[in-house]
Amino acid sequence: MQIERFEIEGLLLIKPRVFEDNRGYFFESFNKQDFFAHAGLDLNFVQDNESMSNAGVLRGLHMQAPPHEQGKLVRVVQGKVLDVAVDIRKKSPTYGQYHSVILSGENKHQFYIPPGFAHGFAVLENKTVFCYKCTGYYNKESEFSIKWNDADIKIDWGIKIPILSEKDEKNSVSLNTFNSPF
Ligand SMILES: Cc1cn([C@H]2C[C@H](O)[C@@H](COP(=O)(O)OP(=O)(O)O[C@H]3O[C@@H](C)C(=O)[C@@H](O)[C@H]3O)O2)c(=O)[nH]c1=O
């Protein structure tokens, strides 16, 4: 397992060791001990999620407020996404900045997004299966959504008119009107 860090502190890209043979492939998609040894994080995941989306779908930018905040370890089993994390930690020197990575069934990379980030992804291939582990349970009342096309964050999604949920279309707020709970 290899770990890459970025300018925005806390975000991690995990590149697992993949074993390939005549049957196909095998890899450990999560190992608590290894994660602690390599990243120094003793994560306690309580919920696993899976979604499927077609190309052009954009889910995000989502987060849950404390005490229901979530760290997320996200990956793609099949297909490809542009995955984005936006720093919304008020005291962070990189507040309002984002980092994006390509996650695909092919590269098998995983992105760890700690609490204090808004998260979203744009789907680049049909029938993309997206899986993630969360350190907190889903709590509808604590959910917030920031506009995918926020004028201050300026995310380069590579999609002009995405397919959004009704919730993301109607209930997302701009970063400049958002009072971050982090
Ligand atoms: C996220 C979630 C949704 N649901 C339900 C609520 C709703 O009826 C249906 C679809 O929910 P959503 O539209 O919120 O799904 P989605 O837009 O895929 O939400 C997800 O987006 C990505 C970007 C994230 O970061 C996740 O944390 C999560 O917010 O599933 C749960 O029961 N448990 C959950 O953990």
Tell me, yes or no, whether 37 lies in a domain: no
Q: How far is the CA of 138 from the centre of ligand 1 (A)?
A: 8
Summarize pLDDT for 142-182 with one digit per residue, the tens. 999 999 999 999 999 998 899 999 999 999 999 999 999 99
Question: Percent of the chain at pLDDT above 70?
Answer: 100
**pLDDT band, residue 35 (cuts 50/70/90):** very high
Number of domains in the chain: 1
Decide if 118 is inside a domain: yes
Asked if 25 is an active-site residue, the reply is: no
Section 46-60 average pLDDT: 98
Quick one: pLDDT at residue 107?
A: 98
Query: Is there a domain that residue 111 lies in?
Result: yes
Residue with structure tokens 């590149």?
Answer: 15
Measured from the Cα of 167, ligand 1's closest atom is 13
Decide if 16 is inside a domain.
no
- Establish if 69 belongs to a structural domain: yes
Which residue's C-alpha comes closest to atom 19 of ligand 1?
Answer: 59
Domain that holds residue 63: 44-177
Check which CATH number belongs to the domain holding 103 and give it.
Answer: 2.60.120.10
Ligand 1 mean position to 19 CA, how many Å? 32
User: In degrees, to the nearest 5, what angle opens at C-alpha 78 toward C-alphas 72 and 79?
Assistant: 95
The answer to whether 99 is a known catalytic residue is no
Distances (CA, A) of 26 to 15, 20, 81, 127, 179: 13, 6, 21, 22, 43
Is there a domain that residue 71 lies in?
A: yes
* Residue 106 included in any domain: yes
Q: Is residue 84 a contact partner of residue 162, using CB atoms and an 8 Å limit?
A: no
- 171 ligand 1 Cβ < 6 A: no
- Is residue 163 one of the residues assigned to a domain? yes
Q: Which one of the listed residues 25, 38, 62, 112 is annotated catalytic? A: 62
Distance from residue 136's CA to the centre of ligand 1 (Å): 13
